[in-house]
């Protein structure tokens, strides 16, 4: 993947596929490191599955025998000297607090650090396919932070779905404006 934001898009779709109701994407940046955390309250994975998700020859897709989402993300982190960890609790193990937490750590000074890229596009793409799922996005960096909570937008929109093209275009401009004002 050319940008970390593409990995983030790919990985967050797993949360949607796992029937999450709430998804949180946090990017926490300081001078030296960048940490991406993706948290959901979906059905979770058991230990056996967890062991296999970093294996390119494990996948839940039915059209092919390879699954490269998590392996790509893990590689992107490890090639900077960082790491990727996954914690997960299945619905049957804990009917209330189940879900998955993926945390990837990157060292920004590494020559192999992939830039975050167009995160606003990733968010717009995700929001377009959210349905009833809530998404919280928080990006903190030295000197500022950006955040978005789709439940707040939904309150304003009422019965108009977030996926309406005009709404997506507004979110796109809104986020880009926040980034422009913070840089």
Partner 1 sequence: MKSLEELAKIRERMLSKIALREGENDIRIVVGMATCGIAAGARPVLNTLVEEVALQGVADRATVSQTGCIGICQFEPVVEVFENGKEKVTYVKMTPEMAKRVVAEHIKGGKPVVEYTIGNAKI
Is there binding between residue 103 and partner 1 (CB under 8 A)? no
DSSP 162: T
Residue spans of alpha helices (H) in the chain: 4-17, 47-52, 69-78, 119-128, 150-157, 165-182
Which CB, 56 or 81, lies closer to partner 1?
Answer: 56
CB of 114 to partner 1, least distance (A): 12
In this chain, which stretch among 10-18, 37-45, 82-90, 138-146 interacts with partner 1, using CB under 8 A?
A: 10-18
Token pair in block for residue 162: 């977030």
Cβ 36 vs Cβ 25: under 8 Å? yes
CB of 39 to partner 1, least distance (A): 20
The DSSP-derived string for 51-96 is HHTTSTT--S-SS-S---HHHHHHHHHHTTT-EEEEEEE-TTT-SS
Binding mask 16-35 for partner 1 (x = CB under 8 A): -x------------------
Is there binding between residue 42 and partner 1 (CB under 8 A)? no
Residues near partner 1 (CB under 8 A): 1, 6, 9-10, 13, 17, 61, 63-64, 67-69, 72, 118, 121-122, 124-125, 128-129, 152-153, 156-160, 164-170, 172-174, 177
């Amino acid at each position: 993947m050319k940008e970390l934001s593409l990995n983030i898009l790919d990985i967050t779709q797993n949360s949607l596929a796992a029937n999450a109701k709430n998804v949180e994407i946090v990017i926490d940046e300081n001078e030296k490191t960048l940490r991406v955390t993706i948290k959901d309250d979906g059905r979770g994975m058991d230990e056996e599955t967890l062991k296999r998700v970093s294996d390119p020859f494990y996948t839940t897709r039915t059209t092919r025998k390879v699954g490269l989402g998590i392996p790509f993300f893990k590689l992107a982190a490890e090639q900077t000297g960082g790491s990727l960890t996954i914690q997960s609790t299945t619905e049957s193990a804990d009917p209330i607090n189940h879900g998955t937490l993926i945390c990837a750590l990157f060292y920004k000074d590494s020559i192999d650090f992939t830039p975050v890229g167009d995160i606003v596009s990733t968010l717009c793409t995700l929001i377009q396919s959210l349905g009833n799922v809530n998404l919280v996005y928080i990006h903190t960096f030295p000197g500022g932070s950006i955040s978005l909570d789709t439940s707040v937008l939904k309150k304003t929109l009422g019965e108009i779905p977030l996926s309406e093209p005009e709404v997506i275009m507004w979110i796109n401009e809104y986020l880009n404006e926040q980034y422009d004002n913070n840089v």
